[in-house]
Each structure stands twice: as structure tokens, then as C-alpha cells.
Amino acid sequence: MCGIFFSLSTTGPVLPTEETCCLLRTRGPDSLRVHTVQWGINNKDCDSVYLTFVSTVLSLRGDYVHSQPLVDGESQSVLCWNGEAWKVAGTQVRDNDTEHIFQLLLQAVKPLSTAGDPETTDRRNAVQRLADVISSISGPFSFVFYDAFNSRLFFSRDCLGRRSLLQGLDEARTLKICSVCDGTFSTHFEEVDTEGVYMIDLGNTFSQDTSVAIATAGDVQNNIYNIQTLPWCQQDSPAGHLKTPIPHMNKAVPQGNPPPLNTESPCVSELELRLHQSLKLRIQNVPEPPNYTKGRDAKVAVLFSGGLDCTLLARLSHDILPSSETIDLLNVAFENPRVAAAAAAGKDKTAKSVQSVYESCPDRMTGRAAFAELEKVCPGRNWRFVAIDIPYVETCAHRDQVKRLMRPHNTEMDLSIACALYFASRGQGVASEIGAGESQPIPYTTSARVLLSGLGADELFAGYGRHGIAFSRSGFEGLIDEINLDVSRLGKRNLGRDDRILSNWGREARYPYLDEEFVAWVLQAPVWEKCGFGVLESSDSSDHETEFKETGIDSEKKALRLVALKLGMTNVAREKKRAIQFGSRTAKMEKGRVKGTEVLS
């Protein structure tokens, strides 16, 4: 995980504000470096363009800190990289990915010395070669790359938008590209779109008869810097395009009733294997965090509500990591004054029947139940349940910081979700461990720098209520269209916001369900192998015990539920879907009738 800042200015080097610099440092506490390039031009309005690069680094790959920006000694090309290239062209990257990607980009843009290849043709080919490199990367990323050979700037996010990158103009018409918003509320920043890789050809943009100096700050949408797009397309894409790793969805509809789905189904075993492979890439060989004590501290933690998606990741992590490694389960619960008032008045019998307003939170109850089931199924593992209790006064104290981090998102729902992620990723609470018995939980802050998130499972496996509604209205065709819509807009939704929030504590979120190869496999599988809508239950099974165990399994995400059941997580396999803002009780803290889409003041 890294923090990126870049500015393009005609008036001199432009650094991030002090506040932004602090936020970048929290994202990358291991290194900070600044590099400036002065690019000379012959223009009536200015004689130089200044490119300023700032990177902070959270080192999670390799055996030492690779400080950024990386600068090529030969060409003075520059790379700011915030990502995890798990594979390149199908081959696993085992050491530091930043150095590897930089060398591939340099090879792509370096002019070829072939006599029969004119310079203009090679410049075009260099763009395609760079597009091919980006297309070959499997993993989340955002980056800014300056190709000094051809005086071009490239920037982008991966097609699923798993890393934050924002762009905007300040009052002086300086183009800024940053992991977080840089400036005041009035400064116009927007998420860098996930439609492709963006390119600024400095030679064309700042030519003799072209100047951006006369543009106004409001012209960012009019592309005053002549930003070109290299779009993502399917595998048969034309020249000048990137090849997306996400295929078209399988829209086959079953003829008659599809076969019943159970724990013995081949597709369930294949799903377990594919998810295991995705998770393994993300949790093996994680470096020891600072001041790490083996056997006590954790390298990996799970954002843990006790629901199906996150608990399945925890259960599979047990099969991958050495038994000596502790796995932290981060479970957050909030004091919601509306709920507390209802409990005090006797209106909320659930909250009144337990000892604490935190212990009555739905996610706390499912979290403790799932923790107990993990202890039972995986007794050789030290699972540490971290109860993160957030008083209302503390929520209020941090609210402005959360709103600052989530910009440009600015709705009540954004704030509710962001608050839950913000405090969960801080990882500060009280810890309960296996064998603790009746002893008092102890204050604890997780040492883990890698956080596992179950995000993406609902979109891929039909986990939302609207999927069931779509099926009831329009059958398999309606269900397929709804899933396809969810997947198609993953890159345009909230992963950038979540990245800005989760990274604030010097930790990196990893999303096994959003691995490109895993997503591709799920999308190409027929819909009836992912969920149980329209599938008749088996009635002729000779194994009555198995048949009994599989009763009561919901249609939503049925394949994942069956994997959990197969791995011994009987109760977790039956857990209902619950949105994080309701499970942790961050939603509607002050007033009950507010809409999630309401814009914050």
C-alpha cells in the first residue's frame, strides 16, 4: 500500500498541502520521497512544465523497503505505484512487484533501434506495448508513470477500482492526481474513472500554439490537458486498447430444472479450490510488521462481522497459514443513541436482555457465534477476537476526519459505511483468545498490516435481496441481468472510498473474492452453480445425514454456503446477509427517517 501525489504545473513545483501529506504518511509510514521533473518547452505563455511526484510506502512485498518514486537513471522516467501485482502474464510475482512493473514499463516505452521502424510508428507502438503490460497485471493497482523517452504521462486504476486515485484542478489550474483529495471542500476532485489508462502527451499539450494557461479551474471536465483514454475492451480488442481480464457473463438459462446443488457437487469443490488459490496469493509470505513477536502478534486480520463471506475467508486462512500464526478477527460495534434510547424505554427487547449496548449489536452477536464455531472446527489455531467498541462521543470526535477521507463521496450512507470501516481497520479494542476462559479481555491493538475483506461475494453470487426479487419477477433471465449489472459497475462504485478509509491506519485491505481469475471463473459458470434460485432440493439422496445438514441453506450465495458447510461451519452457512451499517449500528444515529442518499451538509 502506498500514497501517491502528482502535480502538473506551468508555474513551478506544486507539493501537496500539509494536511494531505499527513494523510499520505498514514497510508505509507515506511517511506516518503519527493521527485520533481522540469520539462522545457517553447511556448509563448511559459518556458517549462513542472512534474512533481510524491510517494509514501507501506512495505508488504520483498525483504526491504523499496522507496518511491522510482526513477530510471538512463531516461529519468518516474513511477509512483500503489498496488499488488500478484501475477504478470499469468506468472506469480514472488518478490517486490514495484521494481518488476517499473522494468516492464520501461522496456515497453523505450524506443526500438530497428532501422525499418520510423520514429512516429515506434511512438505509437510504445503506447500499445505499455497497454499490453498493464493488461497483463493481475491485482489491484493505481499508478502514475512518466515516460521520459516519449514525454508522456500515464495514470490509471485497475478495472475493478480496488485502489483509490483522484484527479482535479486547483485554483491555479494545476492538475493534481492523488490517493486522497488535496485541498478544501471547494476544490473539485473526482475519482479517476476505471474505463482505461489515461495519457497526456506533453509534447502535444504544451506545443507552441497550444496553452493550458488560459483555462479556468472549472474546465477539468473539458479535458484542458488533452487527456486521452486507452480503454478496457474484451480480448478481441483493437490496437490502442487494453484487454480486460473480466469476461462477459455466462447468460445460459437452464432447460428445465437445473440439478440440485449440494456439498458433493463438483462446482462446489471447484469453488473451494479457486477461492483457496486466490486467498493463498494474498496471505502467504506477509512480512513481519514492526516489533512483531512470533506466536503472539498477527500478520493477518479479518474484517469480521461473523457473516458468511468473511468467516469463510477466516476458515480457509486456517488451512493456508502455519498453525503457529495468530489470526485476528476485528469486530466493530457502535453505541447508537437512537437504539440505546429505545432499549432504555423497553422498546428493544434484544438490547435490553444483554449486558452491553455493544454486545447487542447484530454483528457482535454473529461475530461471537462465528468465533466460537471457528474455535470448535479449528482448535489448533489461536483465533483472537478483537471487540472494538465505539462510544457515540468517539464517533462524533472522528466524524470530520472520516468525512475528509471519504471525499468526494458525501452521503449519509457513505458516512455510515465509512465509520464502520474506519474504526474496524484501526483495530483497537479488547481481545479474547482461545483458552482465556473466564479471564477479563485485555486492551489490544492489532499488529496486522494485511486486512482481509469479503467484499465482492454478494455481487458475484447473488447475495442481495434484490437478486431474489429479480428472479421472482423475471426468472433466470432477470437474475442474470441483475448479477451482470452488479459486476459491471464494481469499478464505478465505492472501492476507492473504502481504500481511502481502510488505509488510514497503515494497513492494506485485500479482496480475495475480487481476484481477476476468480471473478472470471465465477462469471463463466452457469448461474445455477452459484446460487440456489429455481433449483429443486435433492429428494433421493442416500446420505440422509448430509441431506439433513443441507436443509435450511438459503438460495442467496448458496455455493459459498455449501463450501462453508463442507468445511464444518454449520451455523455460518445459514447466516443471513446484513449490511455493515446496520450490523454495526452506524446507520441513522441521530434521526431515524434520514435516507442513505441524503447529501451531508
CB atoms within 10 A of CB 449: 25
The pLDDT tens digits for 330-372 are: 999 999 888 877 777 765 555 444 458 899 999 999 999 999 9
Q: Sheet holding 87-88: strands in order across?
A: 91-92, 87-88, 137-138
Nearest Cα to 554, choosing from 465, 444, 427? 465
In the predicted model, is pLDDT for residue 92 greater than 80? Answer: yes
Look at residue 15 and give its three-state secondary structure: coil
Question: Which of 45-54, 157-166, 215-224, 565-574 has the weakest average pLDDT?
Answer: 215-224
In the predicted model, is pLDDT for residue 312 greater than 90? Answer: yes
The pLDDT tens digits for 219-265 are: 444 467 889 999 999 866 677 789 999 999 999 999 888 888 999 99
Q: Identify which of 325-334, 351-360, 571-580 has the greatest average pLDDT.
A: 325-334
Nearest Cα to 452, choosing from 514, 530, 382, 389? 514
Residue 548 banded pLDDT, cuts 50, 70, 90: low
Based on C-alpha coordinates, what's the Rg of the chain?
25
C-alpha–C-alpha distance, residues 560 and 531, integer Å: 8
Whether the CB-CB separation of 456 and 491 falls below 8 Å is answered with no
61 residue type, one letter: R
Share of the chain above pLDDT 90, in %: 69
Give me the count of residues in the chain.
Answer: 601
Q: How many CA atoms lie within 13 A of 152 on its CB side?
A: 22
Which string of b and e fits 78-92 if b means at least 16 CB within 10 Å? bbbbbbbbbbbeeee
Query: HEC states along 534-557?
Result: CCCCCCCCCCHHHHHHCCCCCCCC
What pLDDT is stored for residue 538 in this prediction? Answer: 52
In the predicted model, is pLDDT for residue 531 greater than 70? Answer: yes
Cell numbers found for residue 430: 479488547
In the predicted model, is pLDDT for residue 553 greater than 60? Answer: yes
**2 an active-site residue?**
yes
The pLDDT tens digits for 436-466 are: 555 677 899 999 999 999 999 999 999 999 9
**pLDDT, mean over the chain:** 88
Q: How far is CA 386 from CA 172, 445, 543, in A?
A: 47, 8, 39
Beta bridge partners of 438: none
In the predicted model, is pLDDT for residue 100 greater than 90? Answer: yes
Which string of b and e fits 528-554 if b means at least 16 CB within 10 Å? bbbbbbbbeebeeeeeeeeeebbeebb
Q: How many CA atoms lie within 13 A of 280 on its CB side?
A: 12
What pLDDT is stored for residue 353 in this prediction? Answer: 46
What pLDDT is stored for residue 439 in this prediction? Answer: 60
What pLDDT is stored for residue 529 in this prediction? Answer: 95
- Taken in order 291, 297, 298, 303, is the CA torsion positive or negative? negative
In the predicted model, is pLDDT for residue 475 greater than 90? Answer: yes
Match 484542478 to its residue by C-alpha cell.
169
C-alpha–C-alpha distance, residues 71 and 58, integer Å: 18
C-alpha–C-alpha distance, residues 566 and 562, integer Å: 6
What pLDDT is stored for residue 40 in this prediction? Answer: 83
Nearest Cα to 28, choosing from 4, 5, 3? 3
C-alpha–C-alpha distance, residues 276 and 316, integer Å: 6
Residue 404 CA, distance from chain mean position: 19
Instruction: Provide the greatest CA pair distance for the chain.
Output: 85
The pLDDT tens digits for 484-505 are: 999 999 888 899 999 999 999 9
Which helix or strand (DSSP H or E) is residue 193 part of? none
Q: Which domains does the chain have, with CATH numbers?
A: 2-243 (3.60.20.10), 266-343+350-584 (3.40.50.620)
Catalytic-role residue among 2, 159, 361, 378? 2
